[in-house]
Amino acid sequence: MIVESTRVVILIASLLLMTGGACAADLTLAERLGYSKQAKLLIVHADDIGVAHSVNGATFAALRTGLVNSGSIMVPCPWFPEAADYFRANPQLDLGLHLTLTSEWQHLRWSGVLTDAAAAGLHDADAYLYADVPEVVANASAAAVARELRAQVERALAFGIQPTHLDSHMGTVFASPEFFAAYLEVGRDYNLPVLIPRERMLKEAPQLASLLTPEDLTIDWLFMADESVQMSQWDSYYSGVLENLQPGVTEIIIHLAYDDAEMQAVTIDHPDYGAAWRQADFDFFTSERFATLLRQHEVELVTWREIGSLM
């Protein structure tokens, strides 16, 4: 109760500052959300909803715990209709769209929403989306990318999904300034926040920063276990992230599924982001260990829905 009251006071103070002439750009994102400048805010975000029933089942179970509090749906994928059904039954969930321009698995492949001349350059010789990002950059035009991103948003809306945000599968939209500009434009046109991790972008792709406007919302920090993290290091990696969390808004991207026959088949010969990897993510982020770490380090969970309310 005391924490909530303090947050309300800070929010009122922030609004008074803005109405008194202070620019919203002078406030951190945390302050604009009604928290103190020193607050450690976290989005626990599950990617890849819609890829497989195993992914959906694990993600829905994790969302029900409240410890995983956000996720995004891949519209072109085979289990998208199940994800849409779940969203319609649970419209309060913080679910966005994982805009998809690649199809990376060996035996589970998908095409984009657009498959006619408007999609020229987006598909390989077998009419699937390319398996990796460099192939998309080499073959697809920014105009075709923009059309496909919009088609994915429109299909989600047609299925009754009201997305809270947009992000990018495999980070494809960050691979060129032209793709990034299309990503920003789609977010602006649909009045949706898009995932832009400011510190990582400035470090890894500083050329993209010039495309941002003062109205574009950016989060502060982004973490995701990658191929360098061994399975034996799962607890120490995530515990280290939480123990060293900096003030501001951080997103941890996770990949959930059960280590079952379906997911083993989907991720065959691909241990990175594979079935065991996803089960390990599920086990950690639905555990009392994770809940305890949040309390110990005074981390508050926030959502993209809250961020979107600032637009």
Cα–Cα distance, 237 to 277 (Å, whole number): 13
| Model pLDDT, residue 159 | 98
Domain assignment of residue 33, yes or no: no
Confidence band for 168, pLDDT divided at 50, 70 and 90: very high
Average pLDDT score, the chain:
93
Cα–Cα distance, 219 to 18 (Å, whole number): 20
Amino acid at site 192: L
What CATH number should be reported for the domain holding residue 208? 3.20.20.370
Domain assignment of residue 118, yes or no: yes
Give Cβ neighbours of residue 158 (< 8 Å, ≥ 6 apart).
Answer: none
Domain assignment of residue 34, yes or no: no
Domain assignment of residue 16, yes or no: no
Cα–Cα distance, 257 to 263 (Å, whole number): 7
Domain assignment of residue 204, yes or no: yes
**Bridge partners (DSSP) listed for residue 46:** 71, 254
Domain with 179, as residue range(s), is 39-308
| Model pLDDT, residue 23 | 59
- Average pLDDT over every residue of 282-306: 98
| Model pLDDT, residue 234 | 95
Count of alpha carbons within 13 Å of 83, Cβ hemisphere only? 35
Both tokens of residue 159?
A: 């299925």
- Average pLDDT over every residue of 131-158: 98
Tell me what percent of the residues of the chain surpass a pLDDT of 90: 90
Cα–Cα distance, 36 to 10 (Å, whole number): 7
| Number of domains the chain is built from | 1
Domain assignment of residue 114, yes or no: yes
Angle between helices 275-285 and 53-65 (to 10 degrees): 10
Domain assignment of residue 9, yes or no: no
pLDDT at 11 over 70: no
pTM equals 0.91
Domain assignment of residue 26, yes or no: no
